[in-house]
Amino acid sequence: MSVPGSVVIEGIILGLNYGLLALGLVLIYRTSRVLNFAQGQLGVVAAVLLVKLHYDYGIWYWAALVTALAVAAGAGAVSELVLRRLFDRPRVMVMIATVGLSQVLYCRSCDRRSCSAPSRSRST
């Protein structure tokens, strides 16, 4: 059975992406001894912003990319400053703060209609 070359290339690229994600998790854990559950969401904020700037607002791709990377760096710096204030607290509290940060970033990056709280329908 033969595997097409494009499948092999896509597999290599996907594996490299997973490797970079794991490297980022290990680097953050080794430096701060905290599991950062918001790491993936920081990347999603940049990706959503890039797509929104390019497709919805018609900004040139490379300008949108630089803007999205700058916003991601700023969001990462702000989240680091917020989490540094909790550094003397128990590690579980800092990990829970990263979960909360992930939720805040999710609600900031998604469509407003999909972030609203579910409404309760009363059956009569």
DSSP labels for 99-114? HHHHHHHHHHHS-HHH
Residue with tokens 């959503």: 48
Whether residue 65 is predicted with pLDDT greater than 70 in this model: the reply is yes
- Which range marks the domain in which residue 82 is found? 37-109
Q: Is residue 71 part of a domain?
A: yes
Q: Is residue 91 part of a domain?
A: yes
Q: Is residue 43 part of a domain?
A: yes
Torsion of CA 111, 114, 116, 117, to 10 degrees: -160
Which pLDDT belongs to residue 79?
Answer: 83
The number of distinct structural domains making up the chain is 1
Whole-angstrom distance, CA of residue 97 vs CA of residue 45: 18
Which pLDDT belongs to residue 113?
Answer: 54
Whether residue 35 is predicted with pLDDT greater than 90 in this model: the reply is no
Indicate yes or no: pTM above 0.75: no
Q: Are 36 and 102 in contact (CB under 8 A)?
A: no
Query: Residue range 3-12: average pLDDT?
Result: 92
Highest mean pLDDT among 27-31, 55-59, 63-67, 91-95: 63-67
Q: Are 71 and 59 in contact (CB under 8 A)?
A: no
Which pLDDT belongs to residue 8?
Answer: 93
